[in-house]
A and B are shown apart, each in its own frame.
Chain A
Amino acid sequence: MPLIDWFTVVAQVVNFLILVWLLKRFLYKPILNAVDAREKKVADELKNADAKEAEAQKEKDDFKHKNEEFDQQRSALLNKAKEEAKAEHQRLLEEIRKEASDLRAKQQEALRNEEQNLSQEISHRTQQEVFNIARKALTDLAGTSLEERVVDVFVQKLRNMKDEEKNQLVSALSTSSSQLLIRTAFDLPQAQRDLIKKTIKETLGIETQPRFETAPDLVSGIELTTDGQKVAWSIADYLSSLQKSIDNLLKEKNTSKAKTKSQTKNNKPRSENEPEAEQEPEAETNKPKLKTESEVETKPETDYNKPKSRKEPEIEQESDAEQELDAEQEPEAGQESAKQQSETKSEPVAKQEINPKLEPT
């Protein structure tokens, strides 16, 4: 029996070729496509992942960078703000310091002004009062006017001049070509002028036509000047001594005020050993009119530790008494105190000795 059947061989060849075609169509192609698609997909995903990772890395770096930048900026801003705050603080402090010093200066200025005003006022008033009192006392007691009495005193002075002084004056008058000048604080009536002329003639032995001038700043005085020589009397010296004592009073008051001020600034509780701190504001609230009185009243009580302040009221009282009395004749005590004042003062305005002094001007 034949092992090979040629029909079957042909049939199997055909079958095989058909199978090849069918399997190609239904097996290999789809499977390969699927595998390829999957591989492509995987590759894509891997690529994507890589890209994403790179992106993430980049973003991370960016973020890091930004963070660092932000940190730097923040610290820089903080430092700047700190510095600015410090500078501002310094500036404000400076401003405040300046303001405070300005205020203090202003206050001091105001105080000085006040002091000056006060002293001027006091001197002015005292002058007026003294004149009024003197005038009244004179008219009441002696029936004469103040001016008359002033001129009388002046005439007395002239008469009591020492010989050498007289000679000096005479020589000055004779050598100089200028006129004899008599300045007064008030208008002199004719009678007084005549009296003065007459006295000059009697004492000096010279016939002159003196020129009369009115000078309010002489403070109710009278003065005779010629070329380089001067004979004078006025109450300016009394006034200046009075002013001096008042000045001292005011100064004390100021120092004590400054003390209390610094204490209140530091918010320290007030100590009991400084009663003036309480009394001073009261004196201040009282109007300047009453000030002199209240000061005089309070000072001796409050300032225990200062012997000067005790003295001063006495001096003041003395000078007050002087001024009341000086229309008549100056007491010696007054003269002495006036001398003391004139010594401390550099200006040689004091000319209230009984013996008129000849001074070189």
Chain B
Amino acid sequence: MRLSPDELIFWQYGFIKLNATIVYTWGLMLIMVVSSKIITSKLSTGLERSRWQNILEIIVTSILEQIEDIGLDQPKKYLGFLGTLFLFIGMANLCIIIPGYEPPTGSLSTTAALALCVFVAVPLFGIEEQGVGNYLKTYTEPTIIMLPFNIISELSRTLALAIRLFGNIMSGSMIVAILLTITPFIFPIVMTVLGLLVGTVQAYIFSVLATVYIAAATREHKHGPKTGAKEG
């Protein structure tokens, strides 16, 4: 049995290969972009609007509110990155109800890629907000002694992000697959439902953590929260 969809390779030319992770990601991207395009092409600005527009509005405004609640003053600026993180992960995890589908988030490559994005984005946003000097100074807070620990924290939390998401989704898929061989009826469905819940929670956790990191990087450092310590 496969541990990750990376192992299902449709096409390979040298080190370039087209495995299930990339293909399903493309599929998800296609669905998301096309449906967004279709729905937003006929947006109404009046009080009457379609239910699809309503759903999208609710989703987008909820994400905005969440970002703002966590402590970012200009949520619209980070909406593209953080919103897409949540939507992509959530979408990938919810699609497990489609038979034959394998979530791209169940591949450590994908989660590592997302974690790398966060790892890069946090210092970028931080520098943009308060300059290189100020941002670099945050690693010496509260004292210079903390510098190596801060750097370790930065790396470890990125690793944690990747492994957490991968472990949850992969385990879910594995349980369903194992149960299918033991009790092909009922229990796989229950586990799939549990997988939906876990997937949604993981999507939320991933994006919220990314938001918190960015918020910590962009904020003034009088009382910068080091949330990485309590992640498990």
Contacts and interface: CB of A to CB of B under 8 A. Distances in A.
Whether chains A and B associate is yes
Interface of A: 1, 3-13, 15-24, 26-28, 30-35, 37-38, 41-42
- A3, A12, A15: which has the most chain B beta carbons within 10 Å? A12
Contact of B109 (A12, A32, A37): A12
A16 B113 contact: yes
A13 B116 contact: yes
Contacts of B88: 16, 19
A55 B6 CA distance: 69
Contacts of B136: none
A12 B53 CA distance: 29
A3 B108 contact: yes
A4 B33 contact: no
B101 interface: no
A320 B21 CA distance: 167
A11 B113 CA distance: 8
A32 B79 CA distance: 11
A35 B56 CA distance: 11
Interface in B161-177: 166
Interface residues of B, number: 48
A26 B40 contact: yes
Nearest to B110: A12
B200 to A, nearest CB: 18
A8 B117 contact: no
**Interface SS of B by simple majority:** helix
Given A9-B116, A12-B113, A38-B46, A31 B60 contact: yes
B80 A1 contact: no
A38 B61 CA distance: 13
9 contacts: A5-B107, A10-B113, A12-B22, A17-B117, A22-B33, A31-B60, A35-B57, A38-B45, A38-B47
A237 to B, nearest CB: 127
B32 to A, nearest CB: 7
A245 to B, nearest CB: 118
B36 interface: yes
Nearest to A12: B113
A284 B164 CA distance: 144
B16 to A, nearest CB: 7
B109 A28 contact: no
Contacts of A21: 80
Contacts of B33: 19, 22-23, 26
- A17, A18, A19: which has the most chain B beta carbons within 10 Å? A19
A241 B43 CA distance: 132
Given A15-B29, A23-B36, A30-B40, A8 B84 contact: no
